[in-house]
Structure 1
Amino acid sequence: MVKGTAKKASNIFVWIILGLLMIALTGFGITSFSGSASQVGSVGSARITANDYARALQREISAQVAQTGRPVNLNQLTAQGLDRAVLDGLIARAALANETREMGLSIGDLEVARQIRETSGFATPEGGFDRAAYEFALRETGLTPAEFEQNVREDVARSLLQIAVVGGVQAPELFAETLTAYQTETRDFSVLRVTEAQLPTGLAAPSEDDLQAEYAANEAQFMRPEMRAVTYAWVRPSMIMDDMEIDEQALRDLYEERAELYNQPERRLLERLVYPSLEEAEAARASLDAGEASYDDLVAARGLTLEDVDMGEVAAPDLSGAAAEAVFGTEEQEIIGPVESAFGPAIFRVNAVLDATQVPFEEAEEDLSAELAAEAARRAIDDIRGDVDDLLAGGATLEELAGDTLMELGTIEWSPGSDEGIAGYDAFREAAAAAREGDFPELLELSDGGLFAIRLDEVIPPALPPLDEIRDEVAESWLARHRREQLAAHAQELVGRLTRGTALEDLGPAVTQEVQIRRQDFIPDMPPTLVSQIFQLDSPGDTAVIPGADFAVIARLDEINSGTRGSPGAEALLALVSEQVRQSIAQDVFESFGQALEADVGISLSPSVINAVHAQFP
């Protein structure tokens, strides 16, 4: 049993090593270290080489690139403290390697060879060992076979030591059960909404002093962000399409091309259930007519799904003669058949009847004209692209572009989040954000085939508008806060009546009940903190007031339901929690073991070699 466990763990470590090899040092030109500059440090007799450290740093850089999708360099790792984390990981590995040596824990050459031969990354298509692939992978990562094989030996030994240290760790049964009971507990409670209509005096309009106080207390809320004053020249197909001349013959030709779209025969939304023989189909129809089975039951009995039998929209020509006549010969029957189809006896179900459509040219002409006009406008815009580029290259201003071409001039005070007019286009927003004062205008494309060029005139710093300019906004803010406060205060008054014996149901209209609510549940149209506050109540009958923007809530705890014991769901959760707790304890135990080893034998580091490794990275 121990041997089997050790093999499984060692295989895992070989895979880890192989995975790390595939990403280490590729394409970064990290040189090998030798001589006196070859050792970053040591823990006892276990050495941490400069090459080990360089490879570990490169693995971390590669992982960061994969995670963020952006280039990452060593300076960025250092700023986040990740270089130290990488080194700490190597120190921990070295401490374990030193301990395995002290204990005499190792594996033989035959086991190392078996581990490598059984690694699929080094296998031939026939399943044998590919020596060339093995040596190529090691060569790409700067390792010799001897170094890699020693790594395999040490990692398997470390895995055996880890199994010995934490293999017997188990989660305390009471602890796991307590966590599971906490997670599976549910609560029943009643909810009463307190709305503005229930306020005894209603909400008064804010006075001038109220507005002044609101304005002064919330300057950050009313502050306008940095704005960019932008002048732009642009042209879109929709701006010039009305000026495009459309040939009537072209319209008629397009109508003819779309004939199948404008003139469609009657269609049915059909499902077809095919049987091997007519006798089986007739027996199925008999059970259907007798009410012994539904069409869905028949589909399931054939081992099919509704998706398997769905034919979508079907016209009469799409079916064979007998089937077409049967299906399209009636508008009353939902179930048709059995009837012979192209695939054998079948029972059809009609889900909908789509009437034939005939759209004459005169009705379609407006849409067709708009389509051709838009295409012509896009071509016209494309035709002026070269002239506009030449004008801009010659120093023409945007104002001159608007005077000499199809483009129109406009201005906008833009800030991130603006989406009106030209700011509705991603390309404009990106250009406006990147523009600098003094930049020469550049011709850019819009997503609908339009063109534009911009000029940044001024960067307007963030500013607080005068109260008179945003009076309505300040009033709305005051009313929202005042409403929330008044609703919460009135709800607290009602709770006071509860303590004097009034029932919750007598305090207002429509008390609602929520049952079997879990800690992680969310109740729509209720304050988001409602459930969490219910679980903070101690006993049935306790109440809580939860303020909201448009109403406050009085919630009364009615029942605390202990987690269900013995159900498959609860047992599965208990097993999951037990395993998570076991893994957490095992991790803590092993980390403590490693720290004790480091403290026992001592750590030696060479700052000069560490700096030399860092200097090799771009």
Structure 2
Amino acid sequence: MLSGIRNFFASLAGKVVFVFILLAFASGFWYFGGPTGGGEAAWAVRVGDQTIAAETVRADYERELGRLRAELGGQVDSAQARAMGLPGVVINRLVNQTLLDLATADLGLAASDDLVRDAIRRNPAFQGPDGRFDRAIYGQTLRFAGFSERQFEEMVRQEIARNQLLASLDAAVAVPDALLTPLFRHYHERRTATVVRVADQDVAGAAEPVSDKDLIAFHQANAERFTAPEYRSVTAIILGVDHLAPQMAVSEAEIRAAYEDRADEFFEPERRSLQQIVLADREAVDRALQRIRDGDDFLTVAEEEAGLTPDAVDLGTVTRRSLLPALSEAAFSVGAGEVADPVQSPIGWHLLKVTEVIEASTVPLADVRDEIAADLAADKARDALFDLSNRLQDTLGAGTSLEEAADRLDLPLVRVEAVDRQGQDRSGDPVDALPQEAVTEAFMLTPGDESLLREYGIEGYFIVRVDDVIEPALRPLDEVRDRVRDALMAERLADAAAERAEAIAAAVHSGRDLASVAADQGLEISTSPPFTRTGEGASDLPRDLIEALFAVDTGQAVVVRGTDATFIAEVRTVETVDPALAPERANAFRNELRFAFGNDLVAQYLDALRQRHPVAVNTEVMDRLF
């Protein structure tokens, strides 16, 4: 969180990133000074004598969720966002912003009108193609975001004041040489090691065979590993586009009309595969063209006249619109295998050769009929979804059961005998009939209770009832016999590998050479490249092994368990770096330390502000929001 705070506030005076104000912190103006539109009952978080409205928290959360979905291709639902801690991130950000606003008010920090005006005019988001402030773009952008100019300017004013405060904290951070030198040497120290890997499979013969008695004992001793999780038997009604779309009737006339409306989508314009030579002047391009017309190969001329490789010559397959107008006219004026007349552009003279012509075409209706029908059905399902959800809510509100409501509204009823918290059945397979939000909701209910009608995903609703709770129970041995056998065998192999590694280490501690001991046992020996404490340079070594090697002196051996193997390693060399001999690296490291110390200072300052302005969370409102 600290690094996130620091990144958020990294734009110090003179380089404020106002796009972030507009996009990420658009809620700031609304909550500063008290809740809006909802009265005392609407507050979600109280910071000192200020409150953050529930509407503000929800709006900021939805913005962050939308941003997250955009970054991850839409593959994040509300339940996943909650599991990732997104509500907490949003709340912490709003609280920290409010704390800084209170602090700037206490200190009398404020931005002048000139400073606000200058910051807005320098924001690239509000500039035209000429790089100058454009009032029309400014007004349009604010209207799109839902702000008046006065509101946005007040937000900018507050952000500048916060940055003034943080700039003063940043100025207090210093890293003297007396601190830099030992830390630089510590973090940049590099070591090499002799490494021997004892793989579990290498000691397969040393492991004892597994008997039924062994399986029974291991099954009982490790009951938690073979215990089935809590399951819930549920009944649900799921209203989603994918559930409703198959029920939507789509006529042939509608399909044909949609095909005509989307004609541009199914039309593939003429394309041409091109090769290109670019030369500096007309004389050079005329000489190259004459060689080509005399029969020289285009690629040979490109290499000899312009020093171009075949990859540099190849322009790929293009349409008219993907080229500059002058180049497009030339490229589409000749046939396949022909070279167009030279064309001049700002970068020089172009020779274009057409290697292939792909005629324009239209995808037949028959090829896209199913796609169009599915799209139309989905559109109809979206239109029907909201109305159907209201009808379902009204029906349930009259006291009917889920079964009766589903029957009256002709809705499919989902029954699941057993589902765990991860949305899996007894076999570990996903229960596709239930969205994860419905599963999460089911585990918050007691048997016989049903949820409210809730949203899931981007466009869906569900209501779920818990019919039974199946408590966690140890799975019978016969059901998990193979798993128990594999786990017991893996444990025995790991123990045998560790025992062998410890014996090798004992020999090394008694004075023998690690390489010779390993060679005697037929084990492979390797020497690592130099690596740092963070593992840079030795990505194939386990993290625990690297830490252990930095905790011992040269010539000492360590034993560390890895994945499917036990490692014995011995420190061979230790190399330290004097910051005076690496000034650029030392300066970069000093900046990293300033950044880290600045993080700590900001965190301490925010903690102090929390003591002065206590933070309280309205859990009832939060439960409704998330």
Code of the residue aligned with 2:392 in structure 1: it is V
In structure 2, distance between residues paired with 1:253 and 1:337: 41
CA positional deviation for 1:185: 1.3
Q: Does 1:485 align with 2:495?
A: yes
After superposition, the Cα gap between the structure-2 partners of 1:387 and 1:208, relative to the gap in structure 1 and judged at 3 Å, is: same
Deviations, residues 81-118 of structure 1 (Å, cap 9, x unaligned): x9xxxxxxxxxxxxxxxxxxxxxxxxxxxxxxxx98xx
Among residues 388, 392, 403, which one is paired with 1:399 in the alignment? 403
CA positional deviation for 1:538: 1.4
Which residue in 1 is equivalent to 2:414? 409
After superposition, the Cα gap between the structure-2 partners of 1:247 and 1:200, relative to the gap in structure 1 and judged at 3 Å, is: closer
CA positional deviation for 1:277: 7.0
Q: TM-score, normalised by structure 2?
A: 0.55
In structure 2, distance between residues paired with 1:124 and 1:401: 63
Alignment of 1:260-275 (within 5 A): 260-267=264-271
CA positional deviation for 1:221: 4.0
Which residue in 2 is equivalent to 1:42? none
CA positional deviation for 1:518: 1.0
Among residues 565, 570, 576, which one is paired with 1:551 in the alignment? 565
In structure 1, distance between residues paired with 2:407 and 2:414: 9
Among residues 239, 248, 254, which one is paired with 1:250 in the alignment? 254
In structure 2, distance between residues paired with 1:25 and 1:425: 37
After superposition, the Cα gap between the structure-2 partners of 1:516 and 1:328, relative to the gap in structure 1 and judged at 3 Å, is: farther
Which residue in 1 is equivalent to 2:423? 418
Kept in 1: contact 2:187–2:533 (CA 8 A)? yes
Among residues 111, 115, 128, which one is paired with 1:121 in the alignment? 111
Q: Does 1:571 align with 2:586?
A: yes
In structure 1, distance between residues paired with 2:206 and 2:471: 41
Kept in 2: contact 1:192–1:504 (CA 8 A)? yes
Code of the residue aligned with 1:252 in structure 2: it is R
Q: TM-score, normalised by structure 1?
A: 0.56
In structure 2, distance between residues paired with 1:125 and 1:204: 78
Which residue in 2 is equivalent to 1:95? none
Which residue in 1 is equivalent to 2:533? 519
In structure 2, distance between residues paired with 1:560 and 1:281: 61
In structure 2, distance between residues paired with 1:183 and 1:407: 62
After superposition, the Cα gap between the structure-2 partners of 1:239 and 1:27, relative to the gap in structure 1 and judged at 3 Å, is: closer
Among residues 427, 438, 444, which one is paired with 2:437 in the alignment? 427
In structure 1, distance between residues paired with 2:50 and 2:368: 62
Alignment of 1:161-310 (within 5 A): 171=176, 173=178, 176-199=180-203, 201=205, 203=207, 206-234=210-238, 236-239=240-243, 241-242=245-246, 244-267=248-271, 278=282, 289-290=303-304
Among residues 340, 346, 353, which one is paired with 2:343 in the alignment? 340
Deviations, residues 27-80 of structure 1 (Å, cap 9, x unaligned): 49xxxxxxxxxxxxxxxxxxxxxxxxxx99669999xx99864499x9xxxxxx
Q: Does 1:360 align with 2:364?
A: yes
Which residue in 2 is equivalent to 1:105? none
Code of the residue aligned with 1:530 in structure 2: it is L
After superposition, the Cα gap between the structure-2 partners of 1:184 and 1:343, relative to the gap in structure 1 and judged at 3 Å, is: closer
Unaligned runs of 5+ in 2: 1-12, 14-28, 36-45, 61-87, 100-106, 118-153, 155-164, 290-299, 425-429, 602-610, 619-626
Q: Percent identity?
A: 23
In structure 1, distance between residues paired with 2:396 and 2:319: 57
CA positional deviation for 1:315: 0.7
**How many residue pairs are counted as aligned between the two chains?**
469
In structure 1, distance between residues paired with 2:254 and 2:31: 62
Deviations, residues 132-184 of structure 1 (Å, cap 9, x unaligned): xxxxx9xxxxxxxxxxxxxxxxx9xxx9xxx9xx99x99574x6433322221
After superposition, the Cα gap between the structure-2 partners of 1:189 and 1:259, relative to the gap in structure 1 and judged at 3 Å, is: farther
After superposition, the Cα gap between the structure-2 partners of 1:332 and 1:188, relative to the gap in structure 1 and judged at 3 Å, is: farther
Q: Does 1:537 align with 2:552?
A: yes
Structure 2 counterpart SS, 1:395? coil
CA RMSD of aligned residues (A): 6.1
CA positional deviation for 1:235: 5.1
In structure 1, distance between residues paired with 2:51 and 2:404: 54
Which residue in 2 is equivalent to 1:605? none
Kept in 2: contact 1:422–1:428 (CA 8 A)? no
Kept in 2: contact 1:237–1:448 (CA 8 A)? no
Alignment of 1:44-123 (within 5 A): 69-70=90-91, 121-122=111-112
In structure 2, distance between residues paired with 1:123 and 1:572: 38
After superposition, the Cα gap between the structure-2 partners of 1:325 and 1:199, relative to the gap in structure 1 and judged at 3 Å, is: same
CA positional deviation for 1:396: 1.9
In structure 2, distance between residues paired with 1:436 and 1:352: 70
After superposition, the Cα gap between the structure-2 partners of 1:571 and 1:234, relative to the gap in structure 1 and judged at 3 Å, is: closer
Kept in 1: contact 2:233–2:419 (CA 8 A)? yes
Code of the residue aligned with 2:413 in structure 1: it is E
CA positional deviation for 1:519: 0.8
In structure 1, distance between residues paired with 2:375 and 2:352: 39
Code of the residue aligned with 2:319 in structure 1: it is A
Kept in 2: contact 1:194–1:552 (CA 8 A)? yes
In structure 2, distance between residues paired with 1:478 and 1:348: 72
Unaligned runs of 5+ in 1: 1-11, 13-21, 29-54, 75-81, 83-114, 128-136, 138-154, 300-309, 587-609
After superposition, the Cα gap between the structure-2 partners of 1:530 and 1:344, relative to the gap in structure 1 and judged at 3 Å, is: closer
